[in-house]
């Protein structure tokens, strides 16, 4: 990009940020404890300044969270309301969340310029608020997608209809992966109405490495059947015997943990296989910043319509942001990007995993090179950069109409 083009791009971005700051915005999502689209969006809008409304609902049936309405002004919560909490049944809870979103959106004084719905249920509500004149534009931000969301066929049919309705009637559809965009095109959405807006990395939370890294492979996640870790467990004796310098670190836990511990004990390698249990997010990031290789297995038989085929895994981006190269099974589309960027190793079968592990554990210089590539690739997902670019492109498309 030349200097003139770069200067023009910066000017356009500044114009978009000024426009965004002056808009009346309502953003709605379901949330968990982790850092996801909702938290990323809230932080970005807070940095822009101005005033916006953030509505969040608990994703899972739990008493830890309540549906919450907050007016945020200059990054500070000015008004807060709590809604009725309904743990079960799940379908009724989603109906409650939708009705509450509609009532809170309707009750907001004046017509809102922009409604950002981070799943099809709340985007569906946004479309109806627009039809009733309470909202001007609707962004449907698809944080994840599955061709089969529920086992119950009736619930799945209703969910698919709501999703298609939201795709058809939203003013633009943001998708966290190209694969979701491809599904949107198959649903009839024109390409100019879809935009890939990937999951982001908040580098404010990414710790700096002191330059000293363990010669290790670290896995963050559940140790349960169906997570793809079984193949690595089968290869564990070979890894520990062939590469006496390597250590294995596990952050998380699950039903397979006792069996893995027993296998390590039989091999007399309990000092090289470390189980850290569940860690707070910031502590896990600190550990990753001192590690070399992050492991991201997935089951070999993941259904083509499973959400993992469409997802944009934040955990893998956290690995790379912390300076770890990655070993990943070719399930999410991100694996193909990692392979193209030379930021790690990709495998599909157990035999390929063994070949990858041999290459990783016998090539420290290659690991160092790919760690550097991984960090460079992760920088492309900086929270501010991704959303500035997304809103800039969105406004440009709307201005052309």
Say if strands 76-82 and 68-73 run parallel, antiparallel, or are unpaired.
Answer: antiparallel
Asked if 216 and 292 touch (Cβ cutoff 8 Å), the reply is yes
Alpha helices in 214-349, H assignment, sequence order: 230-242, 257-266, 281-288, 307-310, 314-321, 334-340
Same domain as 393, residue 316: no
For 242-384, strand residue ranges (E) read: 247-251, 273-275, 293-296, 325-329, 344-347
Is residue 42 located within the same domain as residue 185? yes
Say if residue 10's pLDDT is above 60.
no
Q: Does 2 map to a domain?
A: no
Same-domain pairing of 358 and 250? yes
123 and 99 Cβ atoms separated by less than 8 Å: no
Mean pLDDT computed over 155-163:
93
Q: Which domain holds residue 159?
A: 15-200+383-400
Whether 10 is in a domain gets the answer: no
Share of the chain above pLDDT 90, in %: 65
Residue 153 CA to residue 164 CA, distance in Å, equals 16
Count: domains in the chain: 2
With both helix axes pointing from N to C terminus, report the angle between 314-321 and 281-288 in degrees, rounded to the nearest 10: 50
Closest-CA residue to 137 (of 146, 129, 145): 129
Taking Cα atoms as reference points, which of 96, 37, 20 lies closest to residue 389? 20
In a domain, 394, yes or no: yes
Percent of the chain with pLDDT over 70: 95
Regarding whether 305 and 191 lie in a shared domain, the answer is no
The residue with tokens 């649903």 is 187
Q: Is residue 210 part of a domain?
A: no
159 and 265 housed in the same domain? no
Phi-psi region of 116 (alpha: psi -120 to 50; beta: other; left: phi over 0): beta
- Asked if residue 275 and residue 239 are part of one domain, the reply reads yes
Look at residue 98 and tell me whether its pLDDT is greater than 70. yes
**Residue 285: Cβ within 10 Å count:** 18
Are 176 and 51 part of one and the same domain? Answer: yes
CATH of the domain at 120: 3.40.50.2000
Tell me whether residue 207 is in a domain: no
| Statement to judge: residues 74 and 196 lie in one domain | yes
Residue 248 lies in a domain: yes
Span 345-372, pLDDT tens digits: 999 999 999 999 999 999 999 999 999 9
Q: Are residues 387 and 364 in the same domain?
A: no
Task: Using the structure block, give the residue that is written with the tokens 């966290």.
Answer: 176
Residue at 58 is within a domain: yes
- Would you tell me how many other CB atoms lie within 10 Å of the CB of residue 190? 8
The residue whose two tokens read 């690595």 is 232
Identify the sign of the CA torsion 117, 122, 125, 129.
Answer: negative
Examine the pLDDT at 152 and tell me if it is beyond 50.
Answer: yes
């Amino acid at each position: 990009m030349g200097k003139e083009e770069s200067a023009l791009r910066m000017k356009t971005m500044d114009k978009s940020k000024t426009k965004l700051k002056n808009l009346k915005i309502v953003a709605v999502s379901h949330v968990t404890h982790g850092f996801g689209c909702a938290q990323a969006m809230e932080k970005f809008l807070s940095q822009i300044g101005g005033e916006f409304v953030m509505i969040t609902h608990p994703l899972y049936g739990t008493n830890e969270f309540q549906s919450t309405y907050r007016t945020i002004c200059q990054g500070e919560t000015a008004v807060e309301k709590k809604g009725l909490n309904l743990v079960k049944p799940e379908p009724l809870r989603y109906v409650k969340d939708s009705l509450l979103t509609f009532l809170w959106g309707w009750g907001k004084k004046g017509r809102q310029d922009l409604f950002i719905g981070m799943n099809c249920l709340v985007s569906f509500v946004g479309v109806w608020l627009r039809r009733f004149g309470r909202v001007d534009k609707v962004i449907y931000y698809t944080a994840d997608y599955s061709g089969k969301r529920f086992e119950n066929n009736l619930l799945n049919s209703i969910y698919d209809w709501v999703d298609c309705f939201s795709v058809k009637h939203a003013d633009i559809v943001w998708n966290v992966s190209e694969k979701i965009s491809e599904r949107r095109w198959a649903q009839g959405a024109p390409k100019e109405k879809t935009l890939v807006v990937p999951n982001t990395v908040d580098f404010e939370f990414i710790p700096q490495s002191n330059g000293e890294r363990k010669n290790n492979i670290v896995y963050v996640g559940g140790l349960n059947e169906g997570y793809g870790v079984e193949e690595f467990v089968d290869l564990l004796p070979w890894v520990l015997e062939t590469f006496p310098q390597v250590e294995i670190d596990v952050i998380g836990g699950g039903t397979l943990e006792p069996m893995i511990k027993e296998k390590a004990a039989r091999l007399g390698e309990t000092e090289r296989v470390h189980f850290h249990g569940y860690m707070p997010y910031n502590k896990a990031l600190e550990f990753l910043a001192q590690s070399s290789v992050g492991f991201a297995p997935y089951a070999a038989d993941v259904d083509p319509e499973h959400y993992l085929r469409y997802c944009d895994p934040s955990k893998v981006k956290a690995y790379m942001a912390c300076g770890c190269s990655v070993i990943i099974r070719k399930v999410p589309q991100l694996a193909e990007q990692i392979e193209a960027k030379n930021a790690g190793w990709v495998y599909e079968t157990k035999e390929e995993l063994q070949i990858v592990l041999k290459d990783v554990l016998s090539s420290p210089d290659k690991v160092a090179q790919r760690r550097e590539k991984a960090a460079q690739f992760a920088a492309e997902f900086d929270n501010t950069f991704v959303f500035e670019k997304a809103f800039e492109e969105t406004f440009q498309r709307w201005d052309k109409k």
